């Protein structure tokens, strides 16, 4: 059991002022695996005060000192990588191999990347008679989700450390335990008191307090679009900076000259990673009319061997969803696809064969999905792929852009110049060409209702900086 009874404030584990606790449930077994305390508004005040108190010292540290902490943090995550991977799998249900790679390996690399970025980052420049300087923005409130819990924490904490900011983190109540281990690690490597503070609880309570707190200079939020809108509303009266990484309904276009079998097979993994619980998942597959049957045949045959089950079993490709609520939500979307007339290619309603407990759904593929259908328009956040056909290149781009979101996308073509032209026409924050690999030093974020600002790389660092002009 992972029973956490204290909050990390001002460099110490302290008794919370708030009452109560939140149980953490293993979604594969439906068993309780631990708990975290429920912080109060007074706890948030104490955490913000600690961060304010540490800011003057931390913002004045050298670049070399901050880079050293980042390198030590990356090494410490590596040392505890198996512990963290198993813990996150037990919290989220992510298959263990994917957890090792994406849930722990990627955060470790991102942390190290910011140490490298600091090597040649330009903090000051001359512009005629002005000296333009970049300075840390101040105290940052960080609110992170459950689907990539440690990665989303690192995506905020690492650049904030690099920038010289101090912070207060509230992790998701569904998967908070890894955040407490992360705080243990920061304590062990000697991060100065007050630079990082951890409070846990319900978003509707302390998350809202953090977003509106007068002592907070910036809010960095990752989660649903509706929650992001609320964060913006609460932050607006104090005119604090807000960065938002929100929902997605991303399109994957297969052009008529693509390697159809390879593109079709790849589309499964581009959609179903982390059991489909990825904001950047490519959930809408847009294919030429003349290749519809071939695409469906390839995907159908692959899905017959797509294993679903215990996420600790290294043979499982798809684990459970994170919670009963999420299971019910995704199941309702699957039902709506059937009711609205989409062609069921694989999966469907009910539990996967051989499973009687756990928050599982059957990984599902629909063909003949039209733009007015719910499964085309709404973010499902589960293993559900929708296939839509087009008759012209222009129609393919129009279908891809026919969404209130714009987080990610994909294009497949044997002609890279053609693929690049289409990628430039897609109204989205990232596009992969022929399955191009994720780049941890490239900016990540979205257009439209997918968010504001960018994470990762130099662009992610600059979100935590203010700009000052000094004339002389």
Strands (E), 186-339: 196-198, 218-222, 241-245, 251-254, 284-288
Q: How far is CA 430 from CA 245, 276, 393, in A?
A: 13, 18, 20
Give the chain's residues under pLDDT 70.
none
CA–CA separation, 413 vs 420, rounded Å? 9
Residue 389, classed as helix, strand or coil, is: strand
Q: What is residue 142's predicted lDDT score, i.e. its pLDDT? A: 98
Q: Which domains does the chain have, with CATH numbers?
A: 2-246+450-471 (3.40.605.10), 251-439 (3.40.309.10)
Residue 386, classed as helix, strand or coil, is: strand
For this structure, is 318 an active site residue? no
Report the candidate in 78, 57, 55, 75 with the shortest Cα–Cα distance to residue 67: 75
CA–CA separation, 20 vs 6, rounded Å? 11
CA–CA separation, 368 vs 222, rounded Å? 32
Query: Which of 245, 379, 455, 463 is an active site residue?
Result: 245
Query: Which of 279, 318, 455, 463 is an active site residue?
Result: 279
Report the candidate in 164, 221, 173, 178 with the shortest Cα–Cα distance to residue 200: 173
For this structure, is 271 an active site residue? no
Residue 105, classed as helix, strand or coil, is: helix
Say if residues 120 and 111 touch (Cβ distance below 8 Å): no
According to DSSP H, which parts of 61-214 are helical?
A: 63-79, 81-92, 96-98, 106-120, 149-163, 177-188, 208-212
Q: What is residue 18's predicted lDDT score, i.e. its pLDDT? A: 87
Token representation of residue 263: 């593109």
CA–CA separation, 391 vs 289, rounded Å? 6
């Amino acid at each position: 059991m992972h029973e956490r009874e204290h909050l990390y404030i001002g460099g110490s584990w302290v008794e919370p002022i708030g009452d109560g606790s939140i149980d953490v449930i293993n979604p594969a077994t439906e068993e309780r695996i631990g708990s975290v305390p429920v912080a109060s508004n007074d706890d948030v005040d104490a955490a913000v005060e600690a961060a304010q108190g540490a800011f003057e010292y931390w913002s004045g540290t050298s670049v070399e000192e901050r880079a050293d902490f980042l390198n030590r943090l990356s090494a410490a995550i590596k040392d505890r990588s198996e512990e963290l991977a198993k813990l996150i799998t037990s919290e989220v249900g992510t298959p263990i191999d994917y957890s090792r790679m994406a849930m722990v390996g990627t955060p470790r690399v991102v942390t190290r990347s910011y140490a490298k970025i600091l090597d040649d980052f330009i903090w000051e420049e001359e512009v005629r008679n002005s000296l333009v300087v970049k300075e840390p923005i101040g105290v940052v409130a960080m609110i992170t989700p459950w689907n990539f819990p440690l990665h989303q924490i690192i995506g905020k904490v690492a650049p904030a450390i690099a920038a010289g900011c101090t912070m207060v983190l509230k992790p998701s109540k569904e998967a908070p335990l890894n955040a407490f281990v992360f705080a243990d690690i920061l304590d062990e490597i000697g991060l100065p008191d007050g630079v990082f503070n951890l409070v846990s609880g319900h978003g509707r309570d302390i998350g809202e307090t953090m977003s509106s707190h007068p002592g907070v200079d910036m809010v960095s939020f990752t989660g649903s679009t509706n929650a992001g809108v609320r964060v913006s509303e609460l932050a607006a009266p104090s005119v604090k900076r807000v960065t938002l990484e929100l929902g997605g309904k991303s399109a994957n276009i297969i052009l008529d000259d693509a390697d159809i079998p390879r593109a079709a097979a790849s589309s499964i993994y581009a959609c179903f990673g982390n059991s489909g619980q990825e904001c950047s998942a490519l959930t809408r597959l847009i294919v030429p009319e003349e290749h519809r049957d071939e695409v469906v045949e390839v995907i159908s045959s692959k899905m017959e061997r797509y294993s679903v089950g215990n996420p600790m079993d290294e043979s499982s490709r798809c684990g459970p969803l994170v919670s009963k609520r999420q299971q019910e939500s995704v199941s309702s979307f699957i039902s709506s696809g059937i009711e609205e007339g989409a062609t069921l290619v694989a999966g469907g309603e009910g539990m996967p064969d051989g499973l009687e407990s756990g928050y599982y759904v059957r990984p599902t593929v629909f063909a003949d999905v039209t733009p007015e259908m719910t499964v085309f328009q709404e973010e499902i956040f589960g293993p559900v792929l929708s296939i839509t056909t087009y008759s012209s290149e222009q129609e393919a781009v129009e279908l891809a852009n026919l969404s209130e979101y714009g987080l990610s996308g994909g294009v497949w073509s044997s002609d890279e110049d053609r693929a690049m032209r289409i990628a430039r026409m897609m109204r989205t924050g990232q596009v992969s060409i022929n399955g191009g690999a994720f780049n941890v030093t490239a900016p990540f974020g979205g257009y439209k209702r997918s968010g504001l600002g960018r994470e990762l790389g130099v662009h992610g660092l600059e979100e935590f900086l203010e700009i000052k002009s000094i004339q002389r």
